[in-house]
Structures are given as C-alpha cells and as structure tokens.
Structure 1
Amino acid sequence: MNDHSPAGGRRLWADIDLDALRANVRTLRERAVGGAQLMAVVKADGYGHGLLPSAAAAREAGAAWLGTATPQEALALRAAGDTGPLLCWLWTPGDPWRQAVEAGIDVSVSGRWALAEAADAARSAGRVARVQLKADTGLGRNGCQPADWPDLVAAARAAEVAGTVRVTGVWSHFACADEPGHPSIALQQAAFADALGAAARAGLDPEVRHLANSPATLTLPDAHYDLIRPGVAVYGLSPSAEVGTPQDFGLRPVMTLRARLASVKRVPGGHGVGYGHSYTTSGATTLALVPAGYADGVPRHASNTGPVLVAGKWRTVAGRVAMDQFVVDLGGDAAAAGDEAVLFGPGDAGEPTAEDWARAAGTIGYEIVTRVGHRVPRVYRGERAS
C-alpha cells in the first residue's frame, strides 16, 4: 500500500526517504570503475520500499538499468511508463514471455527451455527478444552449469542468426561476496571469465557483462565489468557486518518504521505479559502497547529481544510478538497513548536500525525491510512531481 498523505492519526507507517535513496544511488555510481553503469535492483516491491517510487528515484539519480525478479514486477514498471533498460531474471514455463518481449524487457535465460520460450515469444510478437544468458559460476541456484554452457551459447547464437533473439548480456551472481576473502569469490570470478570466453568464441557480443551485487559493488572493483547490480545497498543497508556498516560507505537507510502507542498502563509486579507469559514484570511498572505485529512484518523471533525507541530510550519487546501488537516495559518512565515509537530507522535520533532488528531476530537486514507488510502505509518524503 502506497500513501502520500500525512502520517497523522496512523497507528503504524513506514517513512520512505527518497532523497536518501537518490543519494545512495549516486554514491554507488561513484564507486563504479571502468565506466560501469548501475542497475538498481527493485525486486520485492523495491525491497519493501515501494516498487514504482523506488524505481523512479533510482532513475532520477542515474541508474541506467533496473532489475526485477518476477515478470509481474517488470511489466508493472513498463505499465507505469518506465522505458529504460530493464532486466527480469526469474522465469518459469508459461510465464508472460510474449508480453515481456513486446515491452522490450530483457529476459534472463539459464537453459535451452527458456531460450525456446523466448524465441517462441519473439516469433509470436513479431519482434526480437532481448535475452541475457546467466551462467552458474558457483551459487547453485539459477544459471547454466559450465558443462552445459557451450551448448547454450551456441544455441543462443543460432537464434541470433535466425533473427529471433539478441543476446544483450551475460551475467552471474556471487554466493559469498558478503564474506570478504572467501575462497569461492576468486573461483567464481575465474568461472565467469571462462563463461565470457566461451560466449565470445560462439560469436556472441553482449552489450553488458555483469557479476557485482551489493557486496561486490562495495568491495570488489575488479568484478564491476560493464554493470554493477546493487540491491540492498540502494536502500542504505549493508549486505553484511563483515563488509562494513552503511556509514562506512556513505549510505543512508531509506526506511523508518514508526508507530503510535495504543495503550499505556501501570501494572503490578509479577504480571504476565503476552501469550505464554514469557515475560513477567519484576516489579510495579508501566507497559506500553505498540500496535505492530508479525502480520505487519515484525519478526516473531524478536520476542523478548527486539529493540524499540519509546520515550527517548531504547526498550526491548516484553513477551511475545503477536499478530498485531507487542508490549514494551517502560519501567518508571512516562508515556501516553498516541506517543511515537520508532522500531527502526537510520539511527540519527538514537533509534534502532534494521540491522539491530536483524541481530535481535537472528536474520539479515534484507529480511527486516522486505517483510514490512502491505497493510503498513508507506509515506514518501522527497517525492518529485511527475
């Protein structure tokens, strides 16, 4: 749900700072070496920040390409008027291949069946399909295995000669670039070089070659090739603590998740809180109710550990996170219904960050922002008139 109205009166909302997103894109572009362009990855509803506003802001900041996982995301961008270079990479048989070809979307191909789908769609649409071939250099997810790669590039070249496809890119994805020095990094770079060599020998001349995700963009300049492909870094989060903090790279978190307290009350000592009474007050205290729960994306795994800024101090979730709400223990501090609670943000005002929540829940910052649910309105700051 996108919302451009003021946040007053809302129980829970996500502030999205589009100026921060633009600044992040510009910062990442400055890190690109050798004239590499930038693809802003806007999959998963712009990592929970909103697909269309995030894509527009990234383009305004100089993102030459956009990247999505699903065809529905890519087609939504085209329906909204985006006409720039756009790659979509997660395809299944029977997906809307023809619509993508007609919309000028680059489709990722990892095997002969997908190449056949793209070629059939091109013949049906009466135009050439833009295809990017993905090599599995060691991640083990999508991508063509090295043993099958020579056959795929030869078939792709034959399809080019037949006039049904144009191979616009060759690409792959790192498995462990967020672990600097991991031995797989050099092995994947060598495997990618081999894949590019085989493609060239088959007669392919792609427009772009790309391998660098967010951590590689930040730490592996020799992997930048023609295009860097940051995702989570666009939204101001670090891909891992091992790589560094957002501040280390001049990035600023884009999302701040806020709520207004639904209840504040005094309770005696020994009072159970929440399902299962996993928290019991140690003495007379004040409990505040935050109207956000796991249906909104607050991790249940953060029960008794999640941090929240309330009444000027960090508090910790007291008891279990429920579907729609959780409690914090304010001790002797005062607060009132309607006061603001900040679950996470950039940290400027002392509030927790998404990475703090990730540590509390035993997960990663990516999941914290992408799981913020659709019933949480997004309130955009720095949005430009179209």
Structure 2
Amino acid sequence: MTAAAAVAVETAAPAVISRPTLTVDLAAVAANTRTLAAHAPASALMAVVKADGFGHGAAAVARTALAAGATRLGVTSVDEALALRAAGIDAPILSWLNPVDADFAAAVAVGIDLAVPSREHLDAVAAAANAGTARVHLHLDTGLARDGAPPAEWSQLCRAARLAEQRGLLRVDGVMGHLACADVPADPSNASGRTRFAWGVEVARATGLRPVHRHLAATAATLTDPRTHHTLVRVGAGLFGIDPSGTVRLRPAQTLTAPVVSVRRVRAGTPVGYGHTWTAPAATHLGLLPLGYADGLPRSASGPDGRAEVLVRGRRRRVVGLISMDQAVVDLGDDAVPPGEVATVFGPGDDGEPTAADWAAWAGTIEHEIVTGIGRRVARRTAPARATLRSVR
C-alpha cells in the first residue's frame, strides 16, 4: 500500500461528537512538510515524529510526511522507532535518546539508525551489532549541555567509532548536533553552535570517518538559517503548524472539541469551582465541559486572572473558576445552549476559535506543551475529507 493510500484508509469522518475529541488534519501536516522542504531545497528532510507525532499520531503523521517529501524519520527512543516498524513503515528511522541498556540489538535487527552521544553508548551499540551492521550518527553537544558528547570527549569518541567501523561492527553514517537558541536567529549562541558543529565534523573526518549525513537544524533553523542546513534538516514542531521563530505562517493540525454536558442558570454572586476563585458578577449561564488538566488543559490558564476561552456558537466564551482534573466551566452569558452543544477548545483559528498558541500564552508555556499534552481519555480522529481539503486552500 502506498503512503498516500495508507493515509486515506486512516481518515474517518464522524459527523458529531459525544465526548471530547482531538481531530488531526493530515492535510495540514502535508502542507507544512512541503513548506519546510522548500526552505531547505538542497537538504534532505527528516520528519521528527517523537512523542506520538507531537500528539498527532506517529504512524499517520510519518506516512503523511513521507508522502509529502520527507525522506526519513526521527524519534527519541528505540521503542518509538520499533513501533513505527511494527506499523509497517520501512523508511530510514533515527533514534537519538536512549539509555545505555536500551534494546539496541532489536533496533539494529530492523535497520534503525542510532545516535551515539558517548563512548558507553558506542560500546553498547557495537555489542549489539551481531544482529547486523549498525548505522550510527555521532552526536555532539553544540551548546545545550544535555544530550550529545561534550567537546572534550569528542575526539576520543570519533577515534573509537573509527576502530569499531574498521572491525565491521558499525558504520558512522552521520554527525548531528542541536542549537540552543535557533528560535532567536540573532542570538550569538547560534554562531558558536555552528562553529562547534563544523569543528566536530572536521574532527570526525580527520579520524577517517566519512559521514554521509550532517544535521544541525531543527524547525526554527530550517526556516531562518541556511548556514545550518548541511545535508539534512530535522523538523518536528513545524510539521504540526508550530514555528518557534515566528517567521513563517504554518498550518495548525489539531482541533480539540468537547460537548457541553450541562448548563445552569446562576445568580449574581455565585462562586464557581475549587477555592471560589471566580464569582459571577451578574446572573449568567454556566456550561460544563468534561475536560480538565488530566486531559491536557493547563490549570495555570484558569483562575481569577485566567484568560482562557473556548468557542461556543461562534463566540469566544471565558473559562471561569479553576480548571479541575476532569472539568472546566464556561461563562455563556445569556445563551442557554442545550447540553450536547459543541465547544471548540482550540483549532487553527479559522472560525475565531482559540489556537494552541493562545492556550500556551494563557498558561505561560509553549505550543509544544499544549499539543503534546492532550490526555488519553480524549478520542482521536483524522479530519473528514471536506475539512481536509479546506485546510490547504
């Protein structure tokens, strides 16, 4: 089955919702993939589908991105990579964040590339190579002081990798790094990150390694800094409509909706929710949504200073009182909407609904946290064909 056909098979189109539902617009993912690829025309594009495709469904997103021009996939853990293989996806996959005792043998056996950030990881991957020749990407810390080999250990790691390569245990296919401040293109740390990465590639070559792939840029650098593109760019957030640099308009790919489960009329002075942080200033109708912080609505977006809103009947309605684990209350004013009315919590913003960026601002966080945080109780579906066509016009 082709990637496009697989995407079509997965597309469903329920007409109404009876529970909180997250709808994923795969056409938006495809359009974003094409936009990102156009910003790095001389580089291959790796679609990063970690964290279940940033909460959008890893397998469906992977197939969509590959059909739209991506040539390989990226994930964090071996388990994520193995799940893609189990879903029938045979494109190249890189896994770059694993403990030393991860199941590297299982990864090597199904052709998963592995990032190597330390000598310990190199030895563990080499020991797993009896399942086949491992392909590795040496990972250099280019300025974040988290994952990746520290510069002081880089030369030794490259020499050890070359010896393992000569013994036929593995092949060094790539060198990778990551920028700390690519969302602020003028930040001086980006220049130092580029310099350190260039140094790391030269050290690797001096030891006799010949990496085919060199990759430093994630979404923000892909969109703003051609000097970081090298042979491969890694894009994750951008696939889903998030541009950390704020320079390019991408298409959000999630819409979160919920039914109003009950409506009540209350008098002026009625306190609402835990701690009575909000009191109705006038008589009003309150709608109850079966969504809370266990479902991914950030509690920090609510309270006396909260600005969180949802869309009901074409109007923004404020979330009042504290968001609790399972519930949120919405001030409907004079509208006594019937139970079952659909509230749009966030979406692309086409009809005036809040976006994930709005919720991130209200909660004092980033869009990534909003879209990856939707809980398992929320139903998932892909966009109906008509809405999918509309999303790319």
What SS is found at the alignment partner of 2:185? coil
Q: Which residue of 1 aligns with 2:211?
A: 206
The alpha-carbon deviation at position 5 of structure 1 amounts to 6.1
Paired AA for residue 374 in structure 2: V
| Separation (CA, whole Å) in 2 of partners of 1:357 and 1:89 | 30
Shifted more, 200-209 versus 332-341: the winner is 332-341
1:39-188 aligned at under 5 Å gives the runs 39-123=46-130, 125=131, 127-188=132-193
Distance 2:91 2:384 in 1: 22
Instruction: Give 1:9 deviation, angstroms.
Output: 3.9
**Residue 373 of structure 1 aligns with which residue?**
375
Q: Given that residues 309 and 351 in structure 1 are in contact (C-alpha distance below 8 angstroms), is that contact kept between their aligned partners in structure 2?
A: yes
Figure out how many residues of one structure are paired with residues of the other and give that number.
374
Instruction: Report the AA paired with residue 278 of structure 1.
Output: T
Question: How far apart are the structure 2 equivalents of 1:312 and 1:57?
Answer: 31
Relative distance call for 1:76 and 1:51 in structure 2 (3 A) is same
1:280-313: CA deviation from partner (whole Å, max 9, x where unpaired): 0001111111111111111111113222112221
Percent identical across equivalent pairs? Answer: 50
Q: Is the 8 A contact 1:267 1:285 kept in 2?
A: yes
What is the distance in 1 between the residues matched to 2:11 and 2:79? 21
Runs of 4+ in 1 over 2 A off after TM superposition: 2-5, 7-10, 381-384
Q: Which residue of structure 2 lines up, in the alignment, with residue 328 of structure 1? A: 330
User: 308, 313, 316: which one pairs with 2:315?
Assistant: 313
The TM-score with structure 1 as length reference comes to 0.94
Shift in Å, 1:8 = 2.5
RMSD of aligned Cα (Å): 1.5
Instruction: Output the TM-score relative to the length of structure 2.
Output: 0.93
In the alignment, the residues of structure 1 paired with residue 260 and residue 80 of structure 2 have an alpha-carbon distance, to the nearest angstrom, of 35
Contact 2:185/2:225 (<8 A) preserved:
no
Does structure 1 retain, via aligned residues, the 8 Å contact 2:185–2:221? no
What do the CA deviations read for 1:196-235 (whole angstroms, capped 9, x no partner)?
A: 0000101111120000011101111111001111111100
Aligned counterparts of 2:65 and 2:269: Cα–Cα separation in 1 = 52
Match of 2:272 in 1: 273
Task: Say whether the 8 Å CA contact 1:19–1:382 is kept in structure 2.
Answer: no
- When residues 9 and 308 of structure 1 are mapped into structure 2, their CA distance, relative to the original with a 3 A threshold, is closer
Which stretch of the first structure deviates more once superposed, 174-183 or 328-337?
328-337
**2:362 — aligned with what?**
360
Q: Residue type of the partner of 2:270?
A: H
Runs of 5+ consecutive residues of structure 2 not aligned to the other structure:
1-9, 389-393
CA–CA distance in structure 2, aligned partners of residues 377 and 16 of structure 1: 11
> How far is 1:277 from its partner?
0.7
- Residue among 22, 29, 35 paired with 1:21: 29
Moved more, 325-334 or 210-219: 325-334
Answering whether residue 227 of structure 2 is matched by residue 227 of structure 1, we say no
Quote the Cα distance in structure 2 between the aligned partners of 1:186 and 1:114: 28
**Alpha-carbon separation, structure 2, partners of 1:382 and 1:100:** 35
Equivalent residue number for residue 254 of structure 1: 253
Are the aligned partners of 2:17 and 2:258 in contact in 1 as well (CA < 8 Å)? Answer: no
* Equivalent position of 1:215 in the other structure: 220
